[in-house]
Amino acid sequence: MNKVILIRFNEIHLKGGNKKYFVKLLYNNIKNALKNSICKIESIQNRFIIRDYEDENSIIEKLKCVFGIHSISKAIEVKNDVNDILNYVSTLKINTTFKCDVNRADKSFPIKSNEFEADLGEIILKNNEDAKVDIHSPNITVHIDIRENGYTFIFYDIIYTYSGLPLDENRNGLLLLSGGIDSPVAGFCMAKRGLRQDILHFDSFPYTSPQAKEKVITLAKKIKPYIGSRYMYICSMTKLQEEFHVNCKTEYAINLLRRSMIRIANELCDRYKYKTIITGESLGQVASQTIESLTTTNAVAKYPVLRPLISFNKDEIIKIAKEIDTYDTSILPYEDCCTVFLPRNPIIKPRIKDAENEEEKIDLKNLINLVLNNMEIIDLDKE
């Protein structure tokens, strides 16, 4: 009899001939998440087992961040032996309503699920005078998971996680991370679909403060366990914004800034082989997120721009931000580069040709090169 942590997955079951590939991905991601924990990881059919561990709660918290995991349970492991299972169940202390739920994955086990549930329930009732069977809405469910590897796992609680697909090195993107509420949530949502992401941030020092930069680095560290990021690129947009402010129509400032951000992201995708760009934009939330503004921004994109929050309202975004512990950091009162030289009346229906005409007023190519040549790279694995 051993204490173990039982890990289950669900969406991977739908991958048909590619299932083995995704199971291996998930195994490697679990191994990476627990690299600093004392434990052993075992793969059995349709399950993973964590055994010989020291800090149970810490391991479970780390596993909650691993996409592809559907649920987790603290369990007791016994052999697939009728007497061994009955003997352990006879020691359970239950003083409320309960039911037994048998999953007989090992079809060679000699007793059918319904019959065994009745046998187990009878033993619990015999040994617990305050226990009462309730098959519809019990306070406790005793799960008996009889597996093909010769062992049975007995547990009460199921901790449900985010499911999704495991992060994949072959599916990587570049997350545009601001200091706001939306972009960390966007990264989280895309990671749920197996997209590993590194981070690109834009600042405007000295118009933005060092605290604003530190705030975003903190956000990057908070979402790193979810999105698998290794590098954070920080680009100063100060010179570009000054040129836009002096030489271009004020109402186009934000639109020109967004187009420049995508151009810089294009260059990093070329350089470091990212396949897509992720932003936290939500349709109609601000002037730069109208259909026309997004179209004008998309016009300079060389790679797909994914906007997972495009249909979310603010309450939905805030709910996720609180769940992943980025909200309190995001609302710290430090400005980001989009607040610099903010026009009083930004254009909400820009045209691509008009944006291009404004860009011709400055030496955009050399200014973009200047940004890239002075880019700061942070290794998040060393932070």
DSSP structure string for 74-95: EEEEEES-HHHHHHHHTT----
Does 4 score more than 80 pLDDT? yes
Give the architecture-level CATH label for domain 172-382. Answer: 3-Layer(aba) Sandwich (3.40)
Q: Cα–Cα–Cα angle for 80, 84, 85, nearest 5°?
A: 75
Token pair for 116: 């065994």
The pLDDT assigned to 336 comes to 74
The rounded mean pLDDT for the chain is: 94
Cross-strand pairs, 132? 97
Ordered by start, the domain boundaries in the chain are 2-160, 172-382
> What's the pLDDT band for 344 if we cut at 50, 70, 90?
confident
pLDDT in tens, 133-146: 999 999 999 999 99
The pLDDT assigned to 333 comes to 83
Q: Cα–Cα–Cα angle for 91, 94, 99, nearest 5°?
A: 100
DSSP 52: S
**Residue carrying structure tokens 């000295």:** 206
- Which has more pLDDT, 49 or 289? 49
Give the whole-angstrom CA distance, residue 39 versus residue 55: 9
- Strand-strand pairing, 140-146 and 151-155: antiparallel
Q: Which of 104, 30, 35, 38 is nearest to 72 (CA)?
A: 30
The pLDDT assigned to 284 comes to 82
The pLDDT assigned to 15 comes to 87
Cross-strand pairs, 42? 49
Q: By CB neighbour count within 10 A (0-12 exposed, 13-18 middle, 19+ buried), where does 165 fall? A: buried
Q: How far is CA 208 from each of CA 176, 243, 258, 332, 333, rounded to the nearest angstrom?
A: 17, 17, 17, 13, 11
The pLDDT assigned to 102 comes to 98
Contact criterion met (CB below 8 Å) for 27 and 21? no
Q: State what percent of residues in the chain have pLDDT above 90.
A: 86
> How many CB atoms sit inside 10 A of residue 290's CB?
18
Is residue 126 within a helix (H) or strand (E), and if so which, with residue range?
Answer: helix 113-127
Do 2-160 and 172-382 come out as alike in CATH topology? no
How large is the average pLDDT for residues 351-373? 95
How large is the average pLDDT for residues 112-132? 97
pLDDT in tens, 206-239: 888 889 999 999 999 999 999 999 999 999 999 9
Contact criterion met (CB below 8 Å) for 150 and 142? no
Is residue 347 within a helix (H) or strand (E), and if so which, with residue range?
Answer: none
CATH class of 2-160: alpha beta
pLDDT in tens, 166-195: 999 889 999 999 989 999 999 999 999 999
Q: Which of 257, 225, 231 is nearest to 339 (CA)?
A: 257
Give the whole-angstrom CA distance, residue 208 versus residue 202: 10
Q: By CB neighbour count within 10 A (0-12 exposed, 13-18 middle, 19+ buried), where does 144 fall? A: buried
Strands (E), the chain: 2-8, 40-44, 47-51, 71-79, 97-104, 132-133, 140-146, 151-155, 159-160, 172-176, 196-203, 231-236, 277-278, 305-306, 376-379
> What's the pLDDT band for 296 if we cut at 50, 70, 90?
very high
The pLDDT assigned to 299 comes to 97
pLDDT in tens, 53-74: 999 999 999 999 999 999 999 9
DSSP 274: -
The pLDDT assigned to 100 comes to 98
Q: How far is CA 356 from each of CA 3, 90, 153, rounded to the nearest angstrom?
A: 64, 77, 64
The pLDDT assigned to 232 comes to 98
> What's the pLDDT band for 383 if we cut at 50, 70, 90?
confident
